Structures are given as C-alpha cells and as structure tokens.
Amino acid sequence: MGFVPGYENDIFISYAHNDNSTHASKPDDDKRNWVSLLEDYIRIRARGRGHELKIYRDVQLNPFTGVNQQLADRISQSAIFICVVSPNYTKSKWCLWELEQAFKLNRPDSMLRIGKYPLDDAELQLTQKELLKKTDHLLEARFYTRDESKKTVDDLQPELFPEHLTEFYKRLNPIVDKIIERLKELRAHHENAQPAEVKENQVAVYLAETSKDLADNEREQIRSELAQSGCRVLPDQPLPRDASQLRIAINKHLEQAKLSIHLIGESYGDVLDGEDLSIPHLQFDLAAKMREQKKLAQVVWLPDELSPKGKYQQDFLAKLKDAAPDFLQSKLKDLKAVIREKLKPALPTGWEDAKEHQVKVCLYYHELDKEPVKPIYSHLLIQRSFKVKLPLKDAQSFSGHQQLLQSSDAVLLHYGSGDDEWFGNLWQQIQRHTSTGLAKPILVRAIYAGKPMTEEKELLDSKDPIIIKNFDDFREETLAQFIERIELAKGGKR
C-alpha cells in the first residue's frame, strides 16, 4: 500500500516506451531517460514534503503479453493516472488502451496529462482523436513550445541535453504540487471523510492570473513559495475562458481567500469576448470590491522597471497607483517578504473576553494610586458595565499595550501621584498606540487629573484628550463628561 490508503499504487504513469529511450542510451539504462527522470523527480519532491510515494510504471516491455486484466487492475488500483502524450503515445495501441481504461474509471480529477511533444492532427485517426480530445480537459503541463509562425517546435530533451534539466524540473513543479495536493486530499478523504475541515486550517491565497511575461517565472515562483509554506493557492484550476463563467469563478475563489496577489506585467492581458476588461484587470476589480468589504487583503506588484505596452495597460497602471492599497514596484524578494508579513496570524487583542457591544476601556494609573482609582474602576465596571482593563497590570509585555489600546473604545489615564516624567512618557506612548493602525477609531481619550493638586495639573487643557480635573474624592459626576462622550460616539456610530 502506498501513501493513499485503499490503493495499491499512488501513481500510474502511462507512456510509450519509445519516449523513454534514446539512441544514445543503452536499452537497460533506464535512469536517465525522459519518463524515468519524470518519475524520479515526482518521487524525490514528494519525499521532500515527507511523503513516500509508490509509483507504477510498466518498465518491462513485453509485446507478447499484450494488454490484460492485470494491467487494467493496476490502473484502477492507482490513485492518480498520468499520461505522457506524444506522437509515439498515439501510435501505441497499448498506451491508448491504458488511457481508455483510465477514462472508464471516471475520475478526471485524478488524471493528469503531460505534453511531451505536440500531436499532429492530420496523422490521427478519428477514434484516437475522440479519445485524446477528452484529455484536453485534464490539467496539463507542456514540455514544448510551438512557434506557429515558423512552424517549429522546441521540446525539452533532458535525457540528451543536461542544460534542459533545470527547465524540465521547473515546468514539472506545479504538476508535482498538484499531485501531492490531490494525494493528500484523497488520503484525508479516506481517513476522515471530512476533507473540508482539513482545508480550513490552510490559508487560501488568491494568486491572480497574469499576463504572459510574468506567468512562467515570477508567478510560478510566488506560487511555489506559497505552496511550500502550506497555503492553498487559488485558482487551483485554470480560469474558464468564457465571459459568463469567468466572474462567477473568480468570485468563488476570492471568497475563500484571505489575501489576493496581483502581478502586473507589461501587457494588458487577454480580453474575453463579451467582457470589457482583461482578465488581470477584472481580477483586480473583483478583489478590490472584496477588500472594501474587509474580506481580504490585496497586494499589487509590478517589476522594478516595467514599461507598459499599449494605452490600456498604461491606464490600468495609473488606476492601480491611485486605487491599490499596497502597490509594490520592486524586486520579487520584496513581494515575498510582504506576503510573509500579510500571512502572519493576527495577534490576540486581549479583549477576547469582552462581549461584542460592551464598551472597552483601558484604565491607566500609577501604582501608588490604587486607592483613588478603585471607585473609578468600580463605577465604570459595575454601574456602567463597561469592560475595563488595567494594562499596566494586565498587559503581559510591552506590545500587549498596543494590542489592548488598538482595539479599545476609550482610554482613561489617571494622573495622580506619578511624576511628570512618568505621565509625559506614558501619555506619549498611549498617543502613539491610539493614532494609527487601529482596528476601529478610538472614541474617547481622557486624562483624569486627581490628587495631589499641582500647578501644572491646574494648567492642563485640551480637547483631545479631554481633561477631567478632580482634586477631591471621587464623585460620579466627575466622569459624566467622559461617559457622555462615549455614549455619544457610540450612538453616532450606530
């Protein structure tokens, strides 16, 4: 049994033996041929992620056995079916038979297509065509580039040219990630029958489809970085190329995501029939809408020295500069750093025990002033049923103050026995924490000048913070202004 329980093999690789041999290699030198390299890489990458895979590939070429029930069982007993499609593949009836068997199982999610070399339609027979047409819907990695104008094909031949190896592996990476993800899903499904829950722990990131100049290199780098750090990268399937479906699909993905990342290249991108905006532009707009509803964070990145092509792209860029909250024009490493920052889990605010509509008040006082503060505390807490925290006592660390203050509704600083220096420094810290990066605007800031009376305390005067002077014992009216302001601001908000 392999990685996925319930299956004999994890992966079945269907390929033409001719694709796994070169004139240069000896027949039994199986290690460095095309398909063997592919198989080894999948195995090694999976090992890197801590999974040992069992991969089945028909190594022994025995034309006399032909196809048989044993092979058909193997296919159905493998969790994932990979076909290496090339002209050789279409010429081999065994290969096509394997493919047919795989389709009979009706598990398109567990089938992958590797394009080794493009097919020539003219050479195919009708039945083959129909069969292969079905594979068009499968997820595909291509290992060749076809130049339509010159009618030439560049394919990767890592078995012959070592310099092709890097590119070969690079193109294989997304497929391997997909395979591992799919295998994990299958395993989770088998073990728990609740795959949805497993997914919830995973942070989903929407990595927008981008124009061609960034798709292969930059986007792929970000994608693999995210995948490696355990994020679920959306869209996990290619976006539909149909205008009516497109918006729905994007929105569906965005709803799951916590962060959306947009890489902007030099061209505007494809514009679908029946749609005004290009796909990158549309994705940005839809994500921006979500961002405004505070459902996700959004990051826009473009290369350091980008020269946009065409008026549309220039206009789009100008719009981005004004509208995007996080607009990076930098090196890719900076984007990676920003993404890491954005995905850090939020720190606890310290107000978790407060009820939703309860007014949250931070009360600061000098440790010598415990007695005079007691009535204030109890008044706020009991009479007003506010949630009151005493950060100088409650906060576990320096940054605890920041967390508390940034999510509070009001802050009250009792200024009694402490000296000027203590008061001045403390107030400046409070000021800093309550002026930016707030979860919601703070309603009231107040200074309560209490016993003992000094000349300087008498002179205190300000609108924000409001100054409450009471050099006698505590009376309820003293806090009236403070409470009134809170009520007013709360009411105003509602």
Partner 1 sequence: MTIQTVGLLDALKTPSNPFPGLRPFESNESHLFFGRDEQIEKMLSRFARTRFLVVVGTSGSGKSSLVRAGLIPALRSGMTPAAKGKWRIAVMRPSNDPIGNLISALNTAEVFGSTEPENAAVQQAITESTLRLGSRGLIEVARQNLLADGENLLVLVDQFEELFRFIREARKAGNAKAENDAADFVKLLLESVKAEAHEANIHVVITMRSDFLGDCSQFWELPETINESQYLVPRLTRDQLREVIEGPVALGGGQIAPRLVNQLLNDIADNQDQLPILQHALMRTWNECKDSQHDHQGLPEVIDLCCYEKIGEMADALSKHADEAYGELAINQREIAQKMFKALTGIGEDNRAIRRPVVFSELCEVTQANPEQVKVVINAFRRPDRSFLMPPAEVTLHDDTPIDILHESLIRNWKGKSKPEKDKRLREWVIDESISAQRYRLLVDFFRWNIPLEDESLEEMLEWQERNAPHPAWARRYDNDEKVFRQSLDYLARQSQDYFAQSEAQDNQQYRHKLIVGSIRGIFINSVVLGFVFFLVFFLHSFEPPPGWPPSSLQNQSFIEWAVTQVNATIYWASYDAMMFGSWIFDWWQSIKNPIIKLGTLFVSMLLAMNFLWLLKQKILRNKLTVNCPTDNLPARPIGGTVNRYLCRQGHQFKGKRHNY
Cβ closest to partner 1, residue 13 vs residue 296:
296
Residue of 390, 460, 466, 489 interacting with partner 1 (CB under 8 A): 460
Q: What residues contact 383, with CB distance under 8 A and at least 6 apart?
A: 476
334 binds partner 1 (CB under 8 A): yes
Using rule CB under 8 A, residue 459 touches partner 1: yes
**How is 54-70 classified by DSSP, letter by letter?**
-EEE--S--TTT-S-HH
Confirm or reject binding of residue 338 to partner 1 (CB under 8 A): yes
Query: Is residue 426 close enough to count as binding partner 1 by CB under 8 A?
Result: yes
What is residue 371's DSSP assignment? H
Identify the residue among 127, 229, 424, 484 touching partner 1 (CB under 8 A).
424
Whole-angstrom Cα distance, residue 84 to residue 142? 10
* Site for partner 1 contains 307 (CB under 8 A): no
Q: Is the dihedral of CA 271, 272, 275, 280 positive or negative?
A: negative
Q: Which one of 62, 149, 293, 436 is in contact with partner 1 (CB under 8 A)? A: 436
Q: Which of 48, 462, 471, 493 binds partner 1 (CB under 8 A)?
A: 462
Q: Binding to partner 1 (CB under 8 A): which residues in 374-403?
A: 391-392, 395-399, 401-402
125 interacts with partner 1 by CB under 8 A: no
Q: What would the two tokens of residue 350 be?
A: 């310290």
Distance CA 3, CA 209 (A): 32
Of 48-56, 101-109, 177-185, 324-332, the window that binds partner 1 (rule: CB under 8 A) is 324-332
- Minimal distance, residue 461 CB to partner 1, in Å: 8
Amino acid at 323: A
Q: Which is nearer to partner 1, 140 or 394 (CB)?
A: 394
Residue 329 binds partner 1 (CB under 8 A):
yes
Q: Which residues, in sequence order, are CB contacts of 119 under 8 Å at separation 6+?
A: 85, 86, 87, 90, 132
Q: Given the rule CB under 8 A, which of 85-93, 154-162, 273-281, 420-428 is the region that contacts partner 1?
A: 420-428
Count how many residues are written for the chain.
494
Which segments of 339-483 are extended strands (E)?
A: 360-364, 387-389, 410-415, 444-449, 466-469
Q: Which of 148, 419, 472, 477 binds partner 1 (CB under 8 A)?
A: 419
Furthest C-alpha separation in the chain: 107
Per CB under 8 A, the segment of 5-13, 198-206, 249-257, 325-333 that binds partner 1 is 325-333
By C-beta, is 42 or 413 nearer to partner 1?
413
Q: How far is the CB of 449 from partner 1 (least distance, A)?
A: 10
Which is nearest to 117 in space by CA: 147, 146, 94? Answer: 146
Residues 360-379 that bind partner 1 (CB under 8 A): 366-367
Dihedral, 242, 245, 251, 256 alpha carbons, nearest 10: -100
Which residues touch 4 (CB under 8 Å, ≥6 apart)? 10, 79, 183, 186, 187, 190
What is the crossing angle of helices 93-104 and 69-76, to 10°? 50
CB closer to partner 1, 183 vs 290: 290
By CB under 8 A, is residue 322 in contact with partner 1? yes
Residue ranges that bind partner 1, judged by CB under 8 A = 321-322, 324-331, 334, 337-338, 341, 366-367, 391-392, 395-399, 401-402, 419-429, 431-433, 435-437, 456-457, 459-462, 465
